Amino acid sequence: MITIKKKKNSRALKDAVEALSGVDLSLCFQCKKCSNGCPVAKLATTRPSEIMWLLHLGAGDELLSKDLVWMCASCETCSARCPMGIDVAAVMDALRRLALERGAPKPKGNVPLFNRAFLKTVETFGRSYEIGMITAYKLGTGKLMNDTEKFPAMLKKGKIALLPPRGADRKTVKRIFRKSKESKGAKA
């Protein structure tokens, strides 16, 4: 069961998410199509539709520590499936941004580590690079050889590439990361 703790900042979180994402949360009628298409919802303790509902009901900053906020892959399936045209992925982006800005406690486990590994490979290679990300993640967990049995088959079927992606505009991506770090530093 999910408990909503009414706090002083409840309204503020809903307003801040709406302002950052451009989404009108009151449009959601809980059809759950976003959750049914989400590739990570099964692994998380909450689902996109629940996040939408909790925000609408006035949940406070405890929502910023939900694991789905950090596990969301920004694939935008939820946004594409929503019959109301709600950009659910933008809501997730807004929640992550607010979690960082407000110093919300990170969920337990390796989700933040996975997030950092993903961002680091995008910053380095200009695009997502699975092997770089997996290596950084596994080095962080200290369990380099865990879950590696499917690796040869995935490689053989071309599911993951051995070499980094080509054609990415690395300079521009690096510049975006640098600007983002500078603006965070300015706010701190």
- Residues lying near ligand SF4 in the complex (CB under 6 A): 28-34, 37-40, 48-49, 52, 72-78, 81-82, 84, 86, 88-89, 92
Q: Which is nearer to ligand SF4, 127 or 174 (CB)?
A: 127
Do residues 91 and 129 lie in contact, with contact meaning Cβ atoms separated by under 8 Å?
no
Q: Report the residue number, 109 or 139, with the smaller CB distance to ligand SF4.
A: 109
Q: Cβ of residue 85: shortest distance to ligand SF4, in angstroms?
A: 8
> CA–CA separation, 69 vs 95, rounded Å?
7
Report in angstroms how near the CB of residue 93 gets to ligand SF4 at its nearest.
9
Our CB check for ligand SF4 shows the closer of 86 and 104 to be 86
DSSP, collapsed to helix, strand or coil, labels residue 188 as coil
Alpha-carbon distance 13 to 97, whole Å? 12
Minimal CA–CA distance to 180: which of 115, 101, 113? 101
Closer CB to ligand SF4, 14 or 32, in the complex: 32
Q: How far is the CB of 140 from ligand SF4 (least distance, A)?
A: 21
- Comparing CB distances to ligand SF4, the nearer of 78 and 104 is 78
Rounded distance between C-alpha atoms, residue 45 and residue 66, angstroms: 8
State the nearest-atom distance from the C-beta of 71 to ligand SF4, in Å. Answer: 7
CA distance 156 to 2: 43
What is the smallest separation between the CB atom of 80 and ligand SF4, expressed in angstroms? 9
Residue 4: name the closest of 45, 63, 44, 47 by CA: 63
